[in-house]
Chain A
Amino acid sequence: MSGADDDLAIDVRSLNKHFGDKHVVNNVSLQVRRGEIFGFLGPNGSGKTTSIRLMCGLLTPDSGSGTCLGHDIRTEADKIKREVGYMTQKFSYWDDLTIRENLNFVARMYGMEKPREAVNEALENLGLGARANQLTGTLSGGWKQRLALAACMLHQPRLLLLDEPTAGVDPTARRDFWEELHRLAAQGISVLVSTHYMDEAERCHKLAYIADGKLLAQGYAADIVAEQALHTWTIHGERLTELSDQLRRAPGVDQTVAFGAALHVSGRDAAQLEKTVREFSAAQGLRVEPSETSLEDVFIYMMNHSKNNAGAAA
């Protein structure tokens, strides 16, 4: 097998996990290279969190195998925990401890040699030196998220697993956060980050899209978009909701997605799509133009597609 492949931070194959009779993670295989920022996308409840927990040894898969930083995810969870920084979806540091106390605790948990220095440095980098003795519960969402990142970076992990780290964080803080991630990646740290934001997806080196526990696509953003072979037109105008309903029933149109004052109309059959769009445009006097199929169009398409398939199978 590719066990000798030192280039991979995460290499898991055919992971399966059930909760009761629910198949939460269905045959997921995933490879993340060292120093890569890997985006993990998918709707709520699609199995992102469970997959991440499987990869870092917090959960045991029902079947499947793999390695994380070269350690077996089934038998070497302890080693993985030591070298991985895991940021939970929900803020999970202690509200009733101060910022410094939280960091001290983490430093001791990982048995760091110079915990005091490490904590001081982290506080310095965070810009929280002056507020080190403030109770963590009183921090705002953005600061909590920065603290969580600092805490899971404290033991200098080689891989970061970030579970929706920017949920509920304002745009400025999100931008800073991503700049920090890219700095870390440049230092050779691998990052697996789950998110709902398309602008964040576009900042990742590679992406994976999961829906209903199944991995639907994996690779570079451009490849994923190209793979679906969708053609897209943008329609500008008003009363787009009614138009969208009419278009969806028209030949050649596979999906419509509203973006504010514009409507993205996509379909696989380029010729038929163009014909339909031009007919509508001529009839209603709308401005239309061919446009690039965006990642979001593709993800919405894949999600609907997987649902329809699941419905057909059931």
Chain B
Amino acid sequence: MDKFFSVSRWWSIVLKEFLQLRRDRVTFGMIVGIPLIQLMLFGYAINTDPKNLPTAVIVADQSEFTRTLVSALRTSGYFAVTEQLSTEEEGRAALAQGRVQFVLNIPADFTRRLLRGERPALLLEADATDPAATGMALGAINQIAQTVVKRDMTGLLAHLAGDPPPFEVRVHRLYNPENNSQFNTVPGLMGVVLTMTLVLMTGLAMTRERERGTMENLLAMPVRPIEVMTGKIVPYIVIGLIQSSIILLAAWLLFRVPFVGNLLAVYVSALLFIAANLTVGIMLSSLAQNQLQAMQMTMFYFMPNILLSGFMFPFRGMPEWAQTIGNILPLTYFNRLIRGILLKGNGWFDLWPNLWPIALFTVVMMVIAVKFYRRTLD
């Protein structure tokens, strides 16, 4: 009767656990959803060898050689020529705004000096904030130079062929010349930490009231939804700003991340980004029935953020569908903002293309959240 281990007792525990699991829809969703999402993201979206990186060319010298050179860039698969610019300033601006990853500069007297055997130089400027994004392409550049030599340096020009090639490709790694990957990761971490903690904390803050039954008490008091919502948010804004400051201090003191840009711009961007995350938290909390669900939903939200925002893997290496998802997430824009300000010294004009999407995201989320909150009144 009092066996040491009763199989039927044990089995009834197993059954009860399965019954409860089956009723917990969100957990069930996670059991199926998480491996699928992980497979899709890691299997298809992530690519550490990004190809077709947008490249601007400034061709001040149109000749057979330069045409071959540009087409060799294209056929290498690493470079996609997206813009033709005329001045070096335009090139720098395109890099600063993140429109292009590379700018190839062919000087005016390139062909003439090449024919004279003076070994002229081409200038390839790279946005090296993320060393992983540019590394492979820069590695391919000498191969490309050799292609040009093999194709065009024949016949009368055969004397120019050889190793080293008759021209030089000078690579300028802008913004992060030492290829220090921490300079990329540490500022990026700021957005990741803010996303994780703020979405989770606001999600919990609202569901906690519901779970403990204190929500009904709040609703019975003469307080308006907008007052409850904004009032509950304020402490988390402060927390977000403290977290930002800790990471900024660490970036500066421990990792020696360059602070090229404006600190005010950092905080304005951070504040906007914090607002975006808080609206996500409120959204999730109005969907979640309890604190556990709020946590699980935060996980769902967090995963694509960390993988598709350009925090861990080069954004431009991802296929188009993954970039589309990434382009919805505020973290994608915040990563560009914070790296742009700290490493590139971006000004307001350069920042704007990445500021407005976060603002738009926040407004849309806020509207949805307020709608959902009203419904919980009834």
- The A-contacting residues of B in range 73-92, CB under 8 angstroms, are none
Contact B214 A106 (CB under 8 A): no
Q: Are A106 and B212 within 8 A (Cβ)?
A: no
Contact assessment for A110 and B222 in the assembled complex, using a CB-CB cutoff below 8 Å? yes
Report the bound CA distance from A204 to B318 in whole Å. 72
Q: Kindly state whether residue B7 has any CB partner on chain A within 8 Å.
A: no
In the bound complex, CA of A109 to CA of B222 (Å): 7
* Cβ-based interface call for A38 (8 A): no
Determine if A58 and B219 form an interchain contact, defined as CB atoms under 8 angstroms apart.
yes
In the complex, which range does the number of interface residues on chain A fall in? Answer: 10 to 19
CB pair A92–B213 under 8 Å, yes or no, is yes
Does B109 lie at the interface of the complex (its beta carbon under 8 Å from any beta carbon of A)?
no
What 0/1 pattern do residues 349 to 378 of B give for CB contact below 8 A with A? 000000000000000000000000000011
Expressed in whole angstroms, the minimum distance between the Cβ of A248 and any Cβ of chain B is 37
Task: Return A59 CB to nearest CB of chain B, in Å.
Answer: 6
- Bound form: Cα–Cα A92–B215 in Å: 8
- CB nearest to A78 among chain B residues: B222
Q: Which residues of B contact A299 (CB under 8 A)?
A: none
Chain B 217-239 interface residues, beta-carbon cutoff 8 Å to A: 217, 219-223
- On chain B, the residues within 8 Å of A109 by CB distance are 221-223
Q: Provide the main secondary structure of the chain A interface.
A: loop
B216 within 8 A of A: yes
* Residue numbers in B under 8 Å from A175 (CB-CB): none
Contact status B378-A60, CB under 8 Å:
yes
Contact of A197 with B by CB under 8 A: no
For residue B217, which residue of chain A has the nearest CB?
A: A92
Interface residue ranges of A182-201 to B (CB < 8 Å):
none
Pair A59/B220 contact, Cβ less than 8 Å = no
CB contacts under 8 Å to B, within A61-105, are: 78, 81-82, 84, 86, 88, 90-95
Q: Are B220 and A56 in contact (CB under 8 A)?
A: yes
Contact B216 A88 (CB under 8 A): yes
> Are the CB atoms of A92 and B223 closer together than 8 Å?
no
B213 touches A91 (CB 8 A): yes
Question: Would you give the shortest CB distance from B8 to chain A, in whole angstroms?
Answer: 33
Which residues of B sit under 8 angstroms from A56, Cβ to Cβ? 220
Are A82 and B217 in contact (CB-based, < 8 A)?
A: no
A88–B222 touching, CB < 8 Å: no
With contacts A81-B220, A81-B221, A93-B217 known, what are 20 further pairs, Cβ within 8 A? A58-B216, A58-B220, A60-B378, A78-B222, A82-B222, A84-B220, A88-B216, A88-B220, A90-B213, A90-B216, A91-B213, A92-B213, A92-B214, A92-B215, A92-B216, A93-B214, A94-B212, A109-B223, A110-B221, A110-B222
Residues of A in contact with B (beta carbons under 8 Å apart) = 56, 58-60, 78, 81-82, 84, 86, 88, 90-95, 106, 109-110
10 chain-A/chain-B pairs, Cβ below 8 angstroms: A78-B222, A81-B220, A86-B220, A88-B216, A88-B220, A90-B213, A92-B212, A93-B217, A94-B212, A94-B214
